[in-house]
Amino acid sequence: MFQQTLELYQKRILDFLMYTRNYLIRKNPVQAMVTSIVEGLRDFLTVKKKLKMAQYRLNYHRHQLQKMEQLIAENNQHNFLKGAHLDQKR
């Protein structure tokens, strides 16, 4: 009886180890973690370049908006849209 219990426990442990091994082969969590860390480092090291690109795009769109507002103010007959009042009306 005692020997059967030990054999059953041994079989369960071996089954668990086989399932664990197969899971590690299929999912490979260590490689996924390494990939995630490498991507995080890459993002961290390129954040300054991305910030400069975003600032450039923001300044470009702000400039385009100012040009459009200026054209609207010049072509509009109403005086309340000209000059400094344009910013207040927005």
So what's the pLDDT on residue 71? 86
CA angle 78, 64, 62 (to 5 degrees): 100
Do residues 13 and 21 touch, judged by C-beta distance below 8 A? Answer: no
pLDDT for the residue 88: 57
Going 16 to 21 to 25 to 29, the CA torsion angle's sign is positive
pLDDT digits (tens, 9 = 90+) for 23-66: 999 999 889 999 999 999 999 999 999 999 999 999 999 999 99
State pTM to two decimals. Answer: 0.48
Contact at 8 Å (CB) between 40 and 57? no
Q: Are 11 and 18 in contact (CB under 8 A)?
A: no
Tokens of 41: 């480092």
Domain positions in the chain: 1-45, 54-90
